[in-house]
Amino acid sequence: MSDDTSKMAPGLIKAFAPAEEEEGDGRRRRRKSTAEESIAALRNWTPKTRLGREVMAGRIVTYDAALASGLPIREVEIVDALIPNLEDEVIKVNMIQRMTDSGRRVRFNVMACVGNKDGYVGLAMAKGKEVATAIRKSLVAAKLNLIQVQRGNGSWESSVGPGTSVPFKVVGQAGSTRVTLMSAPAGKGLVIGETGKRVLELAGITDVLSRTKGQTRTTINYAAATFNALAEVNRTRVTETQRANLYIVKGRMLE
């Protein structure tokens, strides 16, 4: 590994930085967080894809550059290297029981959400025989399903300048649940249900108005509909004039 850390991805810089010595006070060591485990895994990472080798070589150091390359992101270590400050949250854990000839079979269905609270969010589901395994698989799937979030200032009540809301009204649907997100002025807060609020917070949106329809008590569909609404913003065609008028920013806003 080269000593020139200016040409390395942020996660790789953390992974290969000198480890801080822990105080030997005899206390019980705490369990490593998911972020710490991801950084530790980067130390033993051997890229298997072309994009992974580009990231390891320091030719791609941002997630935007990785998307612009057009290469598929198939290794979770790529996301950990380019966006090391991702936070995660388990949205729902369902226990599924099934009777078989050999007895009762129990499996777990987990939905997890990841985001850096600054323009990137991912949502996915996974199944496993154990809760810990299912959570780990759902977090990996959510990182590989990461999208850029477009934020803007589309409310007539807002003053001139960048906003932290959706730029225009969008609708997301999952099953029978439909979530409509509308622009809100700064300081309004997240006027949405608790499940949708958790997804929007990880995406970096702090002000939004919403309207819901259908079975909103279904937590999984509610979260998926909110995520689909954010993805719908990226599919909407916007001219450069509209982008300037709505102060639309894609991806990171904070440095």
Please state, for a pLDDT cut of 90, what percent of the chain lies above it. 57
Instruction: Give mean pLDDT, residues 78-86.
Output: 91
Confidence band, pLDDT 50/70/90 cuts, at residue 155: confident
Helix axes 219-235, 194-203, angle to 10 degrees: 40
Say what the pLDDT of residue 160 is: 72
Residue 26: which region, alpha, beta or left (left: phi > 0; alpha: psi -120 to 50)?
left
Q: What's the pLDDT at 221?
A: 95
Predicted confidence band at 127 (pLDDT cuts at 50, 70, 90)? very high
pTM confidence score: 0.86
DSSP 159: P
Single-letter amino acid, residue 203:
A
Structural domains in the chain plus CATH codes: 7-16+30-82 (no CATH), 87-146 (3.30.160.20), 150-250 (3.30.230.10)
Q: From CA 248, how far away is CA 240, in angstroms rounded?
A: 10
pLDDT digits (tens, 9 = 90+) for 191-239: 999 999 999 999 999 999 999 999 888 999 999 999 999 999 988 888 8
**Token duo for residue 236:** 């909407």
> 89: which strand partners?
113
